Amino acid sequence: MRNSSPPPGLVVAVDVGGTGIKAALVARDGSVVRSVRRETRREAGPAAVLDRVTATAAELAAACVASTGSAPLAAGVAVPGLVDTARGVARYAANLGWRDLPLRDLLTERLGLPVALGHDVRAGALAEGRLGAGREHDDFLFVALGTGIAAAHVREGRVFEGSRGGAGELGHLVLRSGGGPRCGCGRRGCLETLASASAVALAYAEASGHARSSRKAPLTGGGVRPGLEIPVTAEGVRDLVRAGDPVARQVWRRAVHALADGLAAYTVLCEPELVVLGGGLARAGTDLTDPLREALARRLPFHRPPELALAALGDRAGCQGAALLALDLAVAA
């Protein structure tokens, strides 16, 4: 936790997702003054997504002026994909169509505000570390189990980004090199094709015979094939596990074991003291953490298994992390 405090005022926080934008006006103590949600509308193209992000941030900035008489101190924007935070560039965001986009400079010019740019999962990890499940820990791994799988490692209050800003792509750790579902990255057997929320739903649909071709908008990530309609969610599979469905139990067990394989490999290399699980699959609660804890312990005969905890901030973590980035920027100004 930083010792310095930001000056009085509000910041704009924007968390940009593949389908939705979560944004808020946030006070220096982290309290949310006003929040909005907007569709990303990525089908209109990358330029339209940028316009949508700009309009959402500008809406909140105007609300700040109207209510306080002053402009926001700064804006924080968290985006998916590969992010060069030092240069303020969204290097690659497949779901948004962005490649080498100088997002920080563009938003600074359009909004007339200082802008901090961050990675969505790393921003979520920052928020969980300061405000959520990682508050009492100096060293933890935050894992987002959603459509895909991504992670961020926090050490002494700082999020490790890697030499080129690409650290944390745990979902693309290949676990089944001899085969497995094809991933959106082009390889087979990546962790997110086996243990993400979308992978669990797909595996159950295929194993139960409920998967079928569809002309609906294709699902992406987690190994889900374009044009495939999935009539059940990961939470639905969890409910079927509780009800004793044998197919659901087998699917759930395989996903838990794959996730344990991935976390065990990470533990051997980096040895975090805590793993915080977030995203859609983490809503399964102890139905996930109890068997995962056992499976992880079996895979670590001489390493101490990390503690497991569920994320405390839910889908607000990215937006709150974006606010923290903006507040940090205000401190440094």
| Per-residue pLDDT, 164 | 73
Nearby residues of 136 by Cβ (< 8 Å), 6 or more positions away: none
Domain covering 10-128+316-332, topology: Nucleotidyltransferase; domain 5 (3.30.420)
Q: What is the largest CA-CA distance in the chain?
A: 62
Rg (CA), the chain: 20
Lowest model confidence (mean pLDDT) among 131-145, 223-237, 259-273: 223-237
| Per-residue pLDDT, 81 | 84
| Per-residue pLDDT, 213 | 40
User: Does domain 136-311 sit in CATH 3.30.420.40?
Assistant: yes
Q: What percent of the chain has pLDDT over 70?
A: 91
Distance of CA 213 to the CA centre of its chain: 29
Residues 136-168: pLDDT tens digits? 999 999 999 988 899 999 998 888 888 777 788
| Per-residue pLDDT, 123 | 95
| Per-residue pLDDT, 1 | 39
Q: Where in the chain is the domain with CATH 3.30.420.40?
A: 10-128+316-332, 136-311
Higher-confidence position of 35 and 93: 35
| Per-residue pLDDT, 226 | 46
Does the pLDDT at position 94 exceed 60? Answer: yes
| Per-residue pLDDT, 242 | 94
Query: Which DSSP letter does residue 222 get?
Result: T
Nearby residues of 47 by Cβ (< 8 Å), 6 or more positions away: none
Pair 17, 78: CB distance under 8 Å: no
Q: Is 146 helix (H, G, I), strand (E, B) or coil?
A: coil
Beta bridge partners of 12: 25, 75
Residues 167-214: pLDDT tens digits? 888 999 999 877 788 887 888 899 999 999 999 999 999 998 876 443
Q: Is 41 left (phi over 0), alpha (psi -120 to 50) or beta?
A: left
What long-range pairs does 163-169 form, CB within 8 A, spacing at least 24? 164/82, 164/84, 165/82, 165/83, 165/84, 165/85, 165/86, 165/91, 165/119, 166/82, 168/119, 168/121, 168/122
The most confident of 187-191, 264-268, 280-284, by mean pLDDT: 264-268
Q: What is the average pLDDT across 103-114?
A: 97
Q: How far apart are CA 237 and CA 241, in angstroms?
A: 6
Q: How far apart are CA 186 and CA 52, in angstroms?
A: 30
